[in-house]
Structure 1
Amino acid sequence: MTEGRPEDIYLGGEIWNYEFALPSSVSGRPRGCKYMGCSALLSDRASVDLAIFSHLDEPHEVRLRLFRSDREARYEAKVYDKTLSIEAQGEVEREDFVPNRQYEIRFTVSTSSDGRTTQEDHVHYYPVRGKEEPYMAFDLDPGGVMRMR
């Protein structure tokens, strides 16, 4: 076994960086997750794309907050906190949105005209093995309800 740094873990014959789930011998894309026993949750791509599709007749705003599930303190776990404006029947897309790892996604949907909240909820994102183009995709449906695809 090759010696690694204290923040590395030994998994499957390779040393993996504990923080970013990168094999220490590779400087490219993550191929795993930091938890033991999660081999089914692997993807070859380093980042995840985001898409939100509006099926509404008026503009809405979506506040997205993403939290890493491997951090206990909220201030350490939060990786994204922004409000996105989505036009009526429009879409928002972000390539290479966040690193490909497990997240809790909290969101608040509100109307752009008066700021009325139509939904507050959360979902979980898990990286999947073999998914060549990992993405987080959501639909904004009538009533201002957002659901993950």
Structure 2
Amino acid sequence: MQKRPPVPPFDHASATQKVRLAEDGWNNRNPEAVSKAYSLDTQWRNRVVFINGREQAESFLSEKWNKELDYRLIKELWAYSDNRIAVRYAYEWHDDSGNWFRSYGNENWQFDENGLMTNRYASINDLPIEAKDRKFHWPLGRRPDEHPSLSELGL
């Protein structure tokens, strides 16, 4: 069985690390690689989309990143317990017409003993923004360590 450290039970340090690893993965926008962080039978609710299993998660992510262009994400730990983590996040992206958005969300995660996510419940809202109002300007890929967090950005 594949392990994805850190594994439960989480403490503050390991929960923070798990959140950053998830952020890094999603910022790399590689659906196949990202999907490996989820159990084979993972269950998601993403907005109004229900996903059952790793294959559907990978397909969902491919479609997402084909639509949400120049995607940049910041996640922040909100709370944790033994095998659960809650995060808040924001990401910026534009559509194929050049319209920019900042999407705000909250997620609740549950993990198995190997550190694979078994459940992901996401609530997300999109705010249209002007390109001049963007706050996430790093090159595509991993957010630099020195880039401000959501709290530091006032988001």
Q: Flag whether TM exceeds 0.5 (same fold).
A: no
Where is the strand percentage greater, Structure 1 or Structure 2? 1
Which gives a bigger RCO, structure 1 or 2 (Cα 8 Å, sep 6+)?
2
Where is the helix percentage greater, Structure 1 or Structure 2? 2
